Chain A
Amino acid sequence: MTAHAATQRAATVEFEHVTKVYGPGAAVTGAPAAVDNLSLSVPAGRICVLVGPSGCGKTTTLKMVNRLIEPTSGRVLLDGVDAATRDVTELRRGIGYVIQHAGLFPHQTIAENVATVPRLLGWPSARMTARTGELLAMVGLDPVTYAGRYPAQLSGGERQRVGVARALAADPPVLLMDEPFGAVDPIVRERLQDELLRLQEQLAKTILFVTHDIDEAIKMGDLVAVLGAGGHLEQFGPPAAILASPANDFVARFVGTDRGLRRLSLLSVGELPLAPVATCHVGDDGPSLRQLVPEGDFAYVLVLDGDDRPIGWIHRDRQTDGVVTPDDIESDSPLLDRRTTLKEALSLLIDASVQTGIVVEETGAVSGRIGIADITARMQGADRSADRSADRSADRSEDRSGAGPAGDAEP
């Protein structure tokens, strides 16, 4: 299944003034709403996260897409077609649905579970078997081991993976996920999140993802919709915009006072300009180090071993005689690669004795260094860009950080 074919299988989802009110007073205005006049548009192939405190209507909104709940007023459109005009069963067979605790059928094997929708659609069994094997492999479960097992034999994380495979079985254009990783422990949750993002790189589905965890929303979403009490949409935009410019007090409070740190997790080391590093090798002449680093600059030289791997720092004035040996190393520094988020980098640097991070390539070769000052300078640059990007419409596809490199002269 090529990426090209996959993007054709992603639909746009739009909410037009969707409202849901419960109770006999449904027609009465002023009755408390579960979802209140929601309008937003999710472009095809994007992950849109609905986030908010409990009772804010995010699950209700999600369920109005596959009509497990019907809107009181307003329309939900998939690829421009009103969901209410379609046959509800046919609609649901074309939408993937993943819930907390997976909801796998306990009396069916994993393979039978995954093939549920294809079986409802009448696929030939050879095609179903092939597709099941493909999907299980895609979610990281070996088909040979898992296909014949029953859900009771799997761990919680494994069951969630099967749930995702089951939702993707008929290659639906839209995927709905309701707190899918809420019931597993944090380590498993992080792994599942990373795998979903990796899957999305391949499949580019339109995903609506509900969570109450703002960190998950920031991590997973291309677009984030913050919902408040009474089912009211408080803000809708890319994660960087939510963090940099919360639309009101509610959003600011929901995001939390450490939103600055959260924004750091959206940027990575590779986006920073790297300062050069003076290097020397074990066995080099000690006094000559002084020439490597000019006065007034960062006063340390990086010692490399025989494979050009960094061992540690040595002050340029340290050795007045003899050669450099590993015992002369004064201190160490964290090693970073280009994909390390600035948040991780910052926390590593704060802990280090020499607050400089060594950036290495995949080969292990040293490419430069960054310090805490570089990080803060980048944040200030990002501030300016993010303010401008928050003004743009959410429909435009932009990269996840929501901003160009620092110092860009934006039109």
Chain B
Amino acid sequence: MVIDWGWIAGHLDDIVAALWQHIVLVGIPLATGFAISLGLGIWAVRRPRVYGPITAVTGVLYTIPSLAAFALLVPVFGFSMLVAFIPLTTYTLLILFRNIVAGFQSVPSEVLEAADAMGYRQRDRLLRVEIPLAVPLMMAGLRLAAVTLIGLATVVSILGSGYGGLGQLITDGLQTFFPTKYVLGGVLSVALAVVVDLLFVRTERRLTPWAGARATGAVPA
């Protein structure tokens, strides 16, 4: 198999541009999706009755393959960027919602009771106790969403919107029967996903100093 390294060297800007495009394609839906699902999650925790319908709907949406989802939105949005952003945001939402709610549910009830008894008002309790303790699962959800999104974003280029990030490299390469391009696109996508995954693992650990602490030389009471 012959990789044209010369081509790679000569087109570094294009490659970097594609990479950057991909990051934007992932970053915006991730942020938007997180904001929306955080709101929905808090709502679902306060009103448990909402949880069922939301989960049911998001569950069904999740099973739809991304290419089909993109295609289904074409009549509404044409082949613009929105055709990509909407499904990407939605997938983020689906993954994050379930994990955010799980995060809130992981806070032990006696901690909540103690917080109430100490005199925390509801908003303070949310900000100072519930959210910090929900962070581990939320971060895990964000990590999963980010990584999944990187994969989903590669498919955007297939419908030919012209804004496909690394997937564009792949699709162009395929259409021009140019292995270097499409293999490069593939390898970079995988690399990006792995790097992002590791970054998130690092951040998770940084944000939860109490999770690493195990009984170290505890003196018996």
Instruction: Note whether A and B contact each other (Cβ less than 8 A).
Output: yes
Tell me, rounded to whole Å, the shortest Cβ–Cβ distance linking A283 to chain B.
46
A7 vs B118: C-alpha distance in the bound complex, in angstroms? 22
Assess whether B119 is interfacial by the CB under 8 Å rule: yes
Verify A156–B117 contact, CB threshold 8 A: no
A-B contact pairs, 12 of them (CB 8 A): A68-B116, A68-B117, A90-B119, A95-B117, A102-B114, A106-B111, A108-B210, A155-B221, A157-B220, A158-B219, A160-B221, A166-B118
Q: Which residues of A contact B214 (CB under 8 A)?
A: 152-153
Per-position contact with B for A142-161: 1 when CB-CB < 8 Å, else 0? 00010001111111111011
Per-position contact with B for A59-96: 1 when CB-CB < 8 Å, else 0? 00000001010000000000000000000011111010
Q: Which residues of B contact A298 (CB under 8 A)?
A: none
Assess whether A136 is interfacial by the CB under 8 Å rule: no
Verify A150–B213 contact, CB threshold 8 A: yes
How many B residues have CB within 8 A of the partner chain? 28
- Enumerate chain B interface residues (CB-CB to A < 8 A): 108, 110-111, 113-121, 124, 129, 132-133, 208-211, 213-216, 218-221
Q: Which residues of B contact A318 (CB under 8 A)?
A: none
Q: Which residues of B contact A155 (CB under 8 A)?
A: 215, 218-221
Verify B113–A103 contact, CB threshold 8 A: yes
Assess whether A107 is interfacial by the CB under 8 Å rule: yes
Verify B221–A150 contact, CB threshold 8 A: no
Which bucket holds chain A's interface residue count?
35 or more
In the complex formed, the residue of A with least CB distance to B209 is A150
A156 vs B218: C-alpha distance in the bound complex, in angstroms? 10
Assess whether A315 is interfacial by the CB under 8 Å rule: no
A108 vs B129: C-alpha distance in the bound complex, in angstroms? 9
Assess whether A104 is interfacial by the CB under 8 Å rule: yes
Verify A106–B210 contact, CB threshold 8 A: yes
A153 vs B220: C-alpha distance in the bound complex, in angstroms? 11
* Docked complex: A113-147 residues within 8 A CB-CB of B: 116-117, 120, 145
Tell me, rounded to whole Å, the shortest Cβ–Cβ distance linking A207 to chain B.
15
Q: Which residues of B contact A22 (CB under 8 A)?
A: none
Q: Which residues of B contact A157 (CB under 8 A)?
A: 220-221
Q: Are A107 and B210 also in contact (CB < 8 A) when A155-B221, A188-B221 are?
A: yes
Assess whether A101 is interfacial by the CB under 8 Å rule: yes
Q: Are A191 and B215 also in contact (CB < 8 A) when A92-B117, A106-B111, A152-B210 are?
A: no
